[in-house]
Amino acid sequence: MSLPFYQKRHQHYDRGYRSTEIQSTLSQYQHEEKRRSASHSSHLGLKSSHAMIEDKSHTPSPRAKRSKHVTPFEDKENEQFDYVVPVFRGRHQNVSGITETEEQRIMETAGYVARRNLLSSGEGISVSRATSSSSQHSEQYQKKSRNVTIREKAEALALKKTIDDTEEFHRKINEDMLLHAPVFIIMPRSHTIWETQNVKFHCTVSGWPEPRVTWYKNNVPIDDQAHPEKYKIERAYGLHSLEIFKCDFEDTAQYHASAMNVKGENSAYASLVVKRYKGELDVTTPKSTPFSFSITPYGYASKFDIHFVDTFGVSFGREGETLSLGSTVIIHPTIKRYQPEIKWFRNGVPISPSKWTSMHWSGEHASLTLTHLNKEDEGLYTLRAIMGEYYDQYSAYVFVRDADAEVSGTPAAPLDVKCLDANKDYVIISWKQPAVDGGNPILGYFIDRCEVGTHHWTQCNDTPVKFARFPVTGLIEGRSYIFRVRAVNNAGISRPSRVSEPVAALDPADRARIKCRPSAPWTGQIIVTEEEPTEGVIPGPPSDLKITEATRNYVVLSWKPPGQRGHEGVMYYVEKCVAGTDNWQRVNTEIPVKSPRFALFDLAEGKSYNFRVRSCNSAGVGEPSEATEATVVGDKLDIPKPPSNIVPTRNTDTSVVLTWKESVDTRELVGYYIEASVPGSGHWEPCNNNPVKGTRFVCHGLVTGEKYIFRVRAVNAAGLSDYSSDSEAIEVKAAIANPSPPYDITLLESVRDCMVLGWKEPKFTGGLDIKGYYVDFREVIDGVPGKWIEANVKAVTDRAYRVLNLKENIIYQFQVSACNLSGVGTPSQPSKPFKCEEWTIAVPGPPHELTVREVRSHSMVLLWQPPVYNGRNPVTGFYIDIKEANGGNEHWRGVNEKPTANKYIKIENLEEGVQYVLRVRAVNQAGVGKASDLTDPVLAQTKPGTKEVEVIVDDDGVISLNFECDTLTPDSKFIWSKDYEGIEDSSRVSIETKGNRTKVIFKDPSEEDLGTYGCFVTETDGVSSSYTLDKDELKRLLQLSHDHKFPVIPLKSELAVEILEKGQVRFWMQAEKLSANGKANHVFNDKEIKDGEKYKMSIDRNTGIVQMVMEKLEDEDEGTYTFQLQDGKATNQSSLVLIGDVFDKLQKEARFQRHEWLRKQGPHFVEYLSWEVTPECNVLLKSKVANIKKETNISWYKDEMEIMEDEKHDFKDGVCTLLITEFTKKDAGVYEVILKDDRGKDKSVLKLMDSAFDDLVTAVCKVIAESASALKIQSNEEGIRLYSFVTYYMDDLKVSWCHNDAKIKYTDRVKTGVTGEMIWLQINEPTQNDKGKYVMELFDGKTTYTRNVDLSGQAFDEAYAEFQRLKQAAIAEKNRARVIGGLPDVVTIQEGKSLNLTCNIWGDPVPEVTWLKNERELIGDSHCILKFESGKYASFTITAVSTADSGKYAVRAKNKYGTEINDFTVSVYIPEDGEAEEEAKTDAKTK
């Protein structure tokens, strides 16, 4: 059984569900048989059981879970489940763009198709769903003929064999058959308890591998280790529990257990409500609450004020980037037990978490992250916070620019790819055309498809299509696909679009049934009837054939399936003919189509065609349907006409509102693209990359003050319209409007018949200066407000106003309206109720009109106005408090320890990126008064492009403070202040403003002008800066002003002298800057000198260097040299005195340099002779030479005696060397090396005598000492020897030994010495006292080097044992028996002669001597006489030898220390007759 590659990788397409469906069918038959047998034995029990089951059969599962195989032997709650839901197994590979939910839906789709095909293909089997409306057990209807029964048995056997083979096959190939996701067998139960009680949640979880369970409270993990006194979590054998001790009201929450393993995650939820006894309530309802408050499920507030802080503004991103939007949500009143519901919308459509978007709510801050921007993400984003019945929202637009093209000139990627009208083997793909074509018209689009679960993309069309819809055919039923689109022009192909949502190739009716079916397991019946199935029914003709879409590239037909089609599925053949003829041609001749949709390509454009469809199945091809009307091939949808009446209007400093009249007679409009251009540039930029619907759009990201023109074009599936006519040019600036309402109305003072109010200026001024304010008031009697009464007819310019003619002890409310040239704005919200009564408190009232200026990353300046009510004593100062905006009251901290008398303060040491609020309190003799209202939250951050006040001193010495503003509007003004008060004294300073620059000019700077000068720019986002002029700064500026009035040429360097290479003398100085008119005069001893033979003068005006060069420095050149500079009106000079020792030293150095230059013309030494000690302890004499050639000769001398070298020096690397090996004191002397050729000679001398030689000896000794090896231990017959090896040894190296940190005194038993390169210490006859640490000290004359060894413990024992062994071996060797000498190796003797051999014997004790012949012991007799005399002499005598005496003899000496044998050979010969006679004569004569 071979499977296609995609089925092997993705079992959920074919293999997995087929085997499971067969298994589930067989399981259902077995369950039915058991149920029938059980119904006969216990009918009543079944009745009650099924009655109980019926109530649960209609309850859908609350969550999509992995199905569980249930058998009749399990819990009774599951008895009604007779059908086994297929378990989709196998490895699932996610394709980009598919979420887990989508993948599950795809799997369900494939499973449904498999189940439908399986049940519809079985002969004589039909399926019906068991109804659950009756509580009685469903009866089984069974009518069988004999033929059916026999066939059924045969099929059952074949089915069983197929099932067994399939299960065995999958058991081998499906490794994770036993793995399944967690399933909650027993859910945790919700509880309602009283306070101080304990509660315990239980749940039982199954799954493999064993799931890991985590408990959560309101989606926050519970850590029982961190809070053991509160929580206890237990787990054992699949049973999990969470116990909460001594519950209180704060424990009221939703709890859930989350089980997770490698196959997935599942959760079960339960709630806990903790009730409190009425008598213990700590919150009581007030007797009289304000009219806007009442008790609600969210607390006592029926109205919630929702504010968005740190909001996200209009954002710009680029495709592929990550963009985050966020805002802090503040809700008042705060109820800790309840959190708002946070929702995000794009263009009014809710956003759900997906692969492309993620949302987070921290309890205070809501954020939305777009992980991979695409143009589909462009739009209006809205953050909505919902609290009970109240909600508020904030919106801003997000623009997404195109990513950089891979090939220059290619179009941008299409967008918004969608799948429409999906069927069994067919789907229509639609998309939106991009706004940018890359400069070349778009020729068309390529559509690609990819099967879900793979990464292989297939192009669906061979030629580009221009229409933004395309039918894709040839899909495989039951499989899911994703699509993408690419645009193409003459420059190339664009980047692909974002992939579409996955779509399954299914019949729409099947898809609808899948979507709407309950999540509970399928409980249908299989009814076997006696009737034979209908066979061989030819389907009827399709109906309602029509053309749904027609373009120049294709025509799409749709129809309804035939009513008469039997039990088989039907397929279709499509036929066409040219209109007016009856020549029908079949379009799909080879493969019939399954879907009641078909797209025809390759039709001749402009021709008319008729179409019809035939149904077919295994029985044959049916009759054709009615033909369509004649259809002309061509685009039925026209390209839209361009919009008209393009009108831009001002909006903000960076945006323009654009309106237009929609395109006329346009069908299927997708939207509009807007482009902007600077007039005359010819360059157009898109304002949006996602078509917008409607006829109004806000174009953001424009440059303030720049003029723009706009154009619009419409887009539908047929293409993009022509551009509209250009709009009129408009300058980008804020629109003029009425100001927004003032806010935070505060009572500053109250007397019997009047009140003084303060308020904050509007956040939006309407693009103009606020001209004034109007105040209204009304009485509030018993909580009922009256009518509003105008307090002032003429607008007041200050933000404080005294309302007169009020009634004492009456409660009033106030409202304030701001006005500008555009008109009067909306009134503020009514203030809090204030009672008109005399203030008698001693402390001051609150300061007011708090203003924050000069906001930077680490500082800001706060201004305020003193309180209107001073109390009983005058105000003496102010305290300023600050805290972070989100901090509680306990986070207030003082800025100043002592009260300040100023009405401003600079707050420093702030943390960048943190929002702060501030308040001011006035103080008098009675104490500290009421705090002012808080400022709005201020972010400590330096805005981009922020500039500071700059002090400038011009060429005329005029001092001025300068400030520049790049964000200036036409209505903006520069306002200068001194110590934050308006500058009124024009006699001290003057103010000049030109364009976006302004400056304050000091007329006569003095200490009267000391202070802080600030500049504030109106109609901007708080642009301001300041500059503090103190005494030190004034002194510096006055000095700088004097320097500018009386200029001096600044010098980088005073007059100096230096010696050049040839011994020339150079005098030079350098000015900071010289113009082309700059000149210099040279003076020597008050006399001007000129350029000539002796003096060479020059001036470099680019570098400002002035110099004079003299060839030689003679005795008459002693004196004073002066260089005088002049450049316009600026002058300067510098002098140098060269007399006495200074002159003599300079002259000597000049002569030396000249001599050196002459020396270097021939071979010479760059580095003179020096010595170096090599690692081998040799001495290397070396010098570095230059300007060498082949003929250059080198000679070495010692004490004026030439040193002969074996080889000629090759001057390798420009170094000449002389190596002295085995260095000793004999090598002391004067060494000289001479270089010589036809160009000259040079020599270098090195004296190695006295202290210089001692230094060299020390260096050699140092290398020797450093080369010493580690001390080692060696035993010999005399004792123990400690030794170390060195590379070389000389007597100047001082060696000493220490034992246990004490110097060793040398004796006959302990002595030291040097043998070759080995330095040793000999310890004869060692004892236990010789144990310890031994240190060898090597002293080179300066430094002591040590080597140590530990001769104790095992080391000593082993050395001592070895010494004893060697000692005994030496004694044995000395005293063992020895044959010292006297015996020859071979003795040749004539027969009859006497043989006498004697040898010396040594040994203690005296050895035992034995003579051997042929390895047998000899015994002395008269013939062989053996003697051993005085323990030293052994003799061997044979009186008359015979041939029998020949042989191998040996003498053996033996004592207790050893044995030694000395061999010799005796050879006896018989002489010839003549020889015998001569021998006889000789013997006779002898006698």
Lookup: tokens for 488: 């193409």
The pLDDT assigned to 788 comes to 93
The CA angle 613-616-622, to the nearest 5 degrees, is 70
The pLDDT assigned to 692 comes to 92
Please report, as a single letter, which amino acid is at residue 566. G
The pLDDT assigned to 1385 comes to 85
With helix as H, strand as E and coil as C, how does 1153-1206 read?
A: HHHHHHHCCCCEEEEEEEEEECCCCCEEEEEEEECCCCCCEEEEEECCEEECCC
Res. 386: pLDDT tops 60: yes
Residues 335-345: what's their mean pLDDT? 83
* Range in 750-754, 871-875, 1313-1317, 1370-1374 with the lowest mean pLDDT: 1370-1374
Lookup: tokens for 1086: 């008050």
Phi, psi of 555 (to 5 degrees): -130, 135
The CA angle 398-403-405, to the nearest 5 degrees, is 155
d(CA 63, CA 81): 18
For residue 650, name the pLDDT band (cuts at 50, 70, 90). confident
The pLDDT assigned to 733 comes to 83
Res. 25: pLDDT tops 60: no
Res. 711: pLDDT tops 90: yes
Q: Per residue in 129-161, pLDDT tens? A: 333 333 333 334 445 566 777 778 888 888 888
* CA-based nearest residue to 21, from 148, 92, 110: 110
Contact call for residues 189 and 202 (beta carbons, < 8 A): yes
* Range in 360-364, 1190-1194, 1208-1212, 1368-1372 with the lowest mean pLDDT: 1208-1212
Residues 350-366: what's their mean pLDDT? 90
Lookup: tokens for 1150: 């000049």
Residues 6+ apart with CB under 8 A from 517: none
Res. 795: pLDDT tops 70: yes
CB count, 10 Å around CB of 750?
A: 22
Residues 6+ apart with CB under 8 A from 282: none
The pLDDT assigned to 390 comes to 78
Q: Per residue in 1364-1410, pLDDT tens? A: 888 888 888 888 888 887 788 888 888 888 888 889 888 888 888 88
The pLDDT assigned to 1207 comes to 62
Residues 6+ apart with CB under 8 A from 437: 411, 412, 487, 489
The pLDDT assigned to 508 comes to 73
* CA-based nearest residue to 1065, from 1021, 1120, 1111: 1111
Contact call for residues 717 and 468 (beta carbons, < 8 A): yes
Determine if residue 1309 is left, alpha or beta; phi over 0 gives left, psi from -120 to 50 gives alpha, anything else beta. Answer: alpha
Segment (H or E) for 330: strand 323-332
The pLDDT assigned to 265 comes to 87
| β-strand pairing of 524-528 with 503-504 | unpaired
Buried b (16+ CB within 10 A) or exposed e, 1360-1397: beebeeebeeeeeeebbbbbeeebeeebebebeeebeb
The pLDDT assigned to 169 comes to 65
Lookup: tokens for 86: 């297929």
d(CA 781, CA 774): 23
Residues 6+ apart with CB under 8 A from 313: 396
Res. 285: pLDDT tops 70: no
For residue 1430, name the pLDDT band (cuts at 50, 70, 90). confident
The pLDDT assigned to 15 comes to 34
Residues 1155-1171: what's their mean pLDDT? 84
Res. 962: pLDDT tops 90: yes
Contact call for residues 1435 and 1417 (beta carbons, < 8 A): no
Lookup: tokens for 967: 């964000």
Residues 1166-1176: what's their mean pLDDT? 88
CB count, 10 Å around CB of 1031?
A: 9
* CA-based nearest residue to 1319, from 1341, 1288, 1351, 1298: 1288
Contact call for residues 598 and 588 (beta carbons, < 8 A): yes
Residue of higher predicted confidence among 819 and 363 = 819
For residue 170, name the pLDDT band (cuts at 50, 70, 90). low
* Burial class, 744, CB count within 10 angstroms (exposed 0-12 / middle 13-18 / buried 19+): middle
Contact call for residues 662 and 695 (beta carbons, < 8 A): yes
d(CA 1344, CA 1337): 6
Secondary structure of residue 1385 in the 3-state scheme: coil
* Range in 689-698, 1081-1090, 1196-1205, 1469-1478 with the lowest mean pLDDT: 1469-1478
The pLDDT assigned to 1000 comes to 93
The pLDDT assigned to 637 comes to 77
Buried b (16+ CB within 10 A) or exposed e, 114-133: bbbebeeeeebbeeeeeebe
| β-strand pairing of 927-931 with 938-939 | unpaired
d(CA 1226, CA 1313): 23
Q: How far apart are the first and last CA of the chain?
A: 127
Contact call for residues 1034 and 864 (beta carbons, < 8 A): no
The pLDDT assigned to 300 comes to 43
Residues 527-551: what's their mean pLDDT? 69
What does pLDDT average to over the chain?
81
The pLDDT assigned to 1189 comes to 84
**Single pTM value for the model:** 0.43
Q: Per residue in 934-949, pLDDT tens? A: 999 999 999 888 899 9
Res. 172: pLDDT tops 70: no
* Range in 286-290, 952-956, 1431-1435 with the lowest mean pLDDT: 286-290
Phi, psi of 139 (to 5 degrees): -75, 155
For residue 28, name the pLDDT band (cuts at 50, 70, 90). low
Q: Per residue in 843-901, pLDDT tens? A: 999 999 899 999 999 999 999 999 988 888 899 999 999 999 988 889 999 999 999 99
Secondary structure of residue 1336 in the 3-state scheme: strand
Res. 1303: pLDDT tops 70: yes
Please report, as a single letter, which amino acid is at residue 260. M
Instruction: Provide the percentage of residues in the chain whose pLDDT is more than 70.
Output: 84
* CA-based nearest residue to 623, from 555, 507, 543, 569: 543
For residue 125, name the pLDDT band (cuts at 50, 70, 90). very low
The pLDDT assigned to 145 comes to 64
Res. 521: pLDDT tops 70: no
Lookup: tokens for 512: 């609808």
* Range in 13-27, 1168-1182, 1183-1197, 1253-1267 with the lowest mean pLDDT: 13-27
* Range in 87-91, 700-704, 731-735, 1054-1058 with the lowest mean pLDDT: 87-91
Lookup: tokens for 98: 């598919």
CB count, 10 Å around CB of 1408?
A: 14
For residue 165, name the pLDDT band (cuts at 50, 70, 90). confident
Report in angstroms the alpha-carbon separations of 564 from 468, 532, 537, 540, 567: 37, 18, 8, 5, 9
d(CA 1205, CA 1216): 12
Lookup: tokens for 398: 């997000």
DSSP symbol at 1046 = S
* Range in 110-114, 357-361, 365-369, 1143-1147 with the lowest mean pLDDT: 110-114
The pLDDT assigned to 631 comes to 84
